[in-house]
Structure 1
Amino acid sequence: MARYHEKRLRGMVKALAGAGIVAMLLSGCGSSPEEMVQSARGFLEKNDPKAASIQLKNALQENPGLAEARFLLGRVHLDQGDVPSALKELKRASELGYSADQVTPLLARAMVMGGEGKEMIEQFANTSLGDPASQAQLQATLGEAYLGTGAPDKAEERFRDAARDAGARDRAELGLARLSAGKRDLEGALSQVEGILAHSPKYVDALLFKAALLNAREEPAKAAEAYSAAIAIEPSAVAPHFELVSLLLRDRKFDEAAEKLKAMQAAVGKDNAQAVYLQAYLDFSQGRMKPAQESIERVLRVAPNYLPARLLAGAIYLRTGDILQAQGHLNSVLAVAPRQLVARRLLVGAHLAARETDRAADVLQPLLKDYADHADVMSLAGQVYLAKGDFARSSEYFAKAVELDPKDASARTRLGISRLASGDSSSAFSDLEAAAEMDDDRIQADVALVMSHLRRGEIDKASEALGRLEKKQPDNPLVSNLLGAVMLGKGDLPKAREAFERAISLKADYLPAVTNLARLDLADKKPEEATKRFERLIEANPKLVDAYVALADLNIAVGRPADDARKVLDRGLSANPGSLPLKIALVRHELRGGDPKAALTIAEEAQAAAPNDAVVLDVLGRTQLAAARPEQAVATFGKLAGLRPDVPAVLLMLAQAQLATKNASGAELSLKKALALKPDLIEAQRLLMALRAQAKDEAGALALAAEVQKQRPKAATGFLMEGDYLLSQKKFAPAAASYRRAMQLEPSAQAVVKLHAALTAAGKNQDADREAEAWLRKQPKDLTVRGYLAEAQLRKGDYAKAAQVYKGMLTIAPGNALVQNNYAWAAWKAGDPKAMSYAEEALKTAPDSPAILDTVAMIQLESGEGDKAIANLKRAVEKAPKAVPIILNLARAYAKTGKADEARALLGQLERDFPDAAAVKKEIAAIRGTL
């Protein structure tokens, strides 16, 4: 907001402290509404607006149609800075026929102060009032409106017109002074405002503008004097208090600001929205996020168009990690004030926090144009391009930031990190070392040095850098945690443990150190010790949400029953009701366990609690897809796309949901929108290719593949896509040619598999096998191609050959339980009598694997060991309660062993759980036919 628009800062709500008692004293006297209005005039003459307001409200309670009462109450509200209420009353007074000469100038001012300058111009630009003084006031207000909407020439015309009237001259001259300031003539503007104050020393608006000019000249002490003088003249005026407290906050004089804010609250009321805004600002500045958020939300409920509140809300939500809310508020500011530096910088930061690097770069561009000599902007640009992976440009901007402000340690730190990323390690380490020496308090540069040396395997240099860091902050748990990492790099596990333990002794709930110790426990095959660590952490801090998530993940990693992880997350929610991260973790847990219905219930609860949270909406949409609710997923991702129209990943998910509803045209439109935002979004390109293949649009498909090839000239991606399309159209020879080109660019197991498939489909089996054999000679330990060849034999029904391939794979990966299981299954199908021993060997490797238990059980069932088979299948189902193939095998085992009732009960439950799954219904019918 421009500094010369102090009056617009009054657009707030003012509460009447203690009004209830005064109202009772003033009412009940038997007065008529007209007498109450007369009494209110008397209170206004005595400068008692609170008492006048009560009388006017009492009068209107008895006679809502009193136009004069509406007008006077609107004037009181306007003087007290309650613009929304002023607008309401003045508009009603106008509707009731109150004198246009009196109501129009005030209504026009209220509209400008309430952020409705454009609307006011449209309504009153051509209005002519009968009273010359009123017309002059209206002209001055129109000048202020034109000034605020970026039309200085029209503003000057209106101000000069208004200056002809003595009553409006001060306002008009002040407007002209503001025009001078807008032209960066601060000295001229100050001279003009001093001239106004010479003949009108108690003109508060002039004092406020003088203070603003002094502040612009970096004379905050003199500015504070001017604000204090304005307060002395009008103690109940909101703007002087507001500006004085704001000045102190900007100068980080928090104690003095708090004192002056208390004085403001006493003068204008604690519930005055501008006072509430300043309280939010003070809380935010001192790191009290929760009260800051509560206060700013109160302000926005009554003044949603107040840009400073929107800006502060954006900063608060960004700090608390609510990126979607932050972006919404900051975009609202930039829609009205596109050159607002702070809002644009914060919005760039919000997009970076959301990993939307392309969008961050787009939002950044106006800053690069307007603030090329601003060190902070150059540093921000460096961060954006570092996140995008453009290390050369990143280093260029960071270097410029250092050039503009050589003493900025943080900029030099980032320059070092950027140079590391680009491979310029010698300059990078010099920058980081210089930054570490420049800043005795901050440790960012030191941490970056240690981490960079660790990543490069330079353990001794990391240890040396850590020594300097320890001298700066010896009692920081982060430092002890880094020491543990250095000790791990040296292979000294006891000292690593000791360092991690010290980090926890410094801060009992320091999760990174607890996690590192748990990893060491797991490496020592002591999962119970790891579990106890997280349990102690949760006991010490039951509000530490991430600890519950980490413990649940640990339970899954060590193969404990799925219900154990569920119980941990439930405990977390009991201690942290409504925690979205825990609910999201629970949703993902249920999806991982194969229970999309349970996941959907939890996701819907999360969405009800946070209807516009981007992460929650994304999880809900994905869960709806998993639960076979594609129409709902379309609605969810559609809503998310409305909230985040500039995020291509959202449009990609919307397209996937639309495809699930067979809405190919809608999906194509969403994909094209995503590609308009990010032309090289490969996931969108692949989906679009699938759509074109489905539509048999060969020209479109090949054009898309060519576009991908052009975007990635050294990558195999475009040729693999081209080959996939041609293969789907049964054009085997051209497909093979595309795959060969992919192999030339980027040899990979994936390309070999695809080339083998194309050649086989073309009837060139020998050529296909030669390609696979050539690859395996170069990559003898490749399991992907070998696994593909085994599956190819399985598809042909040649189980013996498949078993041979799996046996060969086991010489490469002898402890691979998946390969052991596949070997056992193929050997069993080939009639190998040793198949059971192979399966049992696999079970020793992974005793709780549902897939291996299933294989063992099916071999047992075929061997006549029905009871053992059922026992193992029950164990498998217990481990994977939603694995439908295993449940079907258990039903088959029941049927084969004469347990018809158990089979029917199990099949009935499956039918209820999967009412819409045609493949499941078919299997159920087949098993029932054997009962």
Structure 2
Amino acid sequence: MYSTRFPVLLTLLAFGLVACGDDPSQRLERATSAYAAGNDALASIELRNLLQREPDNVEARLLLGRVALRQGDVSEAVTQLSRAQALGASAEQFALPLADALIRQNRADEALDVLDEIEGAERNTVSWLLAQANALVSQRRLVAAADALERAAGLAPEDPDVMLARARLAAVRNEQDRAETLVDRVIDQHGNRADAHHLRAELHLAAGNSAAAAAALQRALALYATESVSSAELSAFAQLVQIQLGSADREGLEKTRDQLRGRAPSSTIALYVSAASDHLAGDYADASRTLQELLAASESVQFLLLAGANHLALNALGQAEQVLQRALSLEPGQVGATRLLAETRRRQGRPDAALQLLRGLPVAGEDSGLLLQMGGLALDADQPRDAVVHLEEANRLSPGTPAVQLQLARAYLALDRTDEAVEMFRGPFGSEAQGAVETAVRLLTGAASGQDPEAAAARAESTLAEAAQDAERIMGVALYHQALGATDRSRQLLRRSLEVDEAFNPARVALAAIAMSQGEAGQARSLFSEALVREPDNRQALLGLSQVALAEGTLEEASELLSRAVSREPGNAVVRMAQLRVEAQRGDTERMLAAANSAAEAIPADPDILTFRGLVRLASGDGEGALADLARAAEIAPRADRLHNLGQAQAAAGRVDEARANLERALDLDARRPTTLRLLAQLERQRGETTAARRLARRLQSLEPESAAGYHEEALTREAERAWPEAARFYREAFERESTVERALAYFRARGAAGGPEPQILLQRWLAQAPDDIPARLVLAQHHLSLGDAPGVVREYTAIIERDPDNVVALNNIAWQLGELGEYSRALDYGRRAVD
């Protein structure tokens, strides 16, 4: 019965549907109403049914193009709007949405051509000017874009679209304050604009305030949810997910996953969130299945990174290496992919190869997390001296971080510096954890002395069996495992320690520190806060919670926590340095100097505090005070970075011989310091010692072959020697690694002096990526003039005038050149504009 009635029912339903809406004009009317109501799915169905019967219906093509554009299907939008154009739609009907779609496809040149099809008064409308500005920004023609937006603002100064476009341009120009002011005005006047809250979130992200960005994205998503799903909404979801992943916010991520299931269940971002949630929950097999589906749809770096991390969690090292290599092929030097690949190499038993990967990162010496990873790898590679260098620098950058201090203690033990190791272990946990420290040191001393790994592991398990109800000794075994990189086992034992004695705060602080090192800011905040409830003056909990606040972008909270810590222990150097680094992030020189003076008064002989104050004094113009502080710091504890800082200050003060001596001492202590090599090469070149300068430049090239710095230094030295062909060659080598206008101009100068052909080639490449660089265009125009290339001269001056219509030099020169070519009418026009 079912099998015979069901086809009949389908037939009747189909007949009913056709019968109730077969008239094309009715379909168009319903589609228009659905589009106006934000129901893009219904509008799309009506329009596609209509076009099956009337494929040349211009109105339907136009509306379907707009629907596709709002849904984020840019390719379909271009197809439909271009078809409408071919069918005879007027420019006023298709040009603006088609230009928008082309811009989103990075086809700004074509977008401008389309906009030019609109003529007359329609070109002086806010909509047309906004579209033109968007295309110009896409081409990085920022001066011309600003001009278009000024004209739009003149027509409608309070139009929210105009204000948001001006805010976006300000953000591109790194004018953060201006961008924020404009967006906040839109939010104050038009609080229900999802795109305004979305842009505010992006500005928060640019300022490093991820907590505020997340809140703004949630507001934007609540407003986007009142309309059909759009590409902008999916972009907001993607940004929120990245913030939640960065802080390991499992609860927030699960809420976002539920939102996406209701809004866009089949989108790639929904699949990504599902995989990320499973990964954070430890459901690696489920995450792997989802990731396979995701990567089949879109092979982005973001998705590949998660796949790599998940393969690592499953210990599928070959697959992890494959996907991470793919990520790096798409985005060379990507820090997250490089770090994950280094961890893969470590697990493959290749710590040397892992170290080599990390040393190639330009931020390797400035990121405490990277330095911690490098220190652990150096220990695995049996290079304890290198490990100490990396870990001491990490400890300087992030003082009081337990993960760093544990690894540094391990490195000290490997060098038989037992007293320093014990002190380093004790630092994060205080006297309350003395038994834990003694247990960890005893176990690690055995491991560092060449004890068989299996015997060392058995010794740790024996200690655990003996200490079944001793929270301190259990924690000591946990610290031993953590120092060896067995984080999961360490966590397990720290939880056991708290089960034995819930009031044992050092284990709670250690557990929070692990959460923080794993990027689990929410869990870390909860544990540090609980530790402070039990012990309000706990230094490590105050320091740890301040690090959580910094990770979340809340500088005020971090500053308040560290002020509490300082008031309780004014003579603690770790606490003081943590406070000084927060003040440095806030960027107020007076506050930095006041905090540094207070710290130096409390601890007058601490080399790190003296160094910090010396650098602040140097930046504020107090050269003598800076030299005194930096010299004292280097005298108390000579170290490569301190000697470099002293040498830099001496060079700035004109004390070149002293500077050279201290920089050479720095290199004796650490031969792999690119900043020191660069500065010493500059000093040697200034003294006329070009052979020594070249030798230092070559060392820099060998140390950092992918960096431009060593090649640029050799080019400058060759230029000082007036060896023009070699200077040009090294300027080009530097430009290929990092393109800048200074290198393009230097190559132009050196190549010209050498008499080589096409000295302008790098200038042309630079202008292709920075077309608004007017001074560079002026140089290129003069070059064409020197060659007698009149069309080239006119082309460059025309490009300048397009970007800066009132540029008198360009107006005068193009007028003269056109006069030489006999184009007197155009020459006269430009001449009048120059005079006006």
TM-score by length of 2: 0.45
Of structures 1 and 2, the one with the larger relative CO (CA 8 A, separation 6+) is 2
Return the index of the structure with the highest Cα Rg. Answer: 1
TM-score by length of 1: 0.41
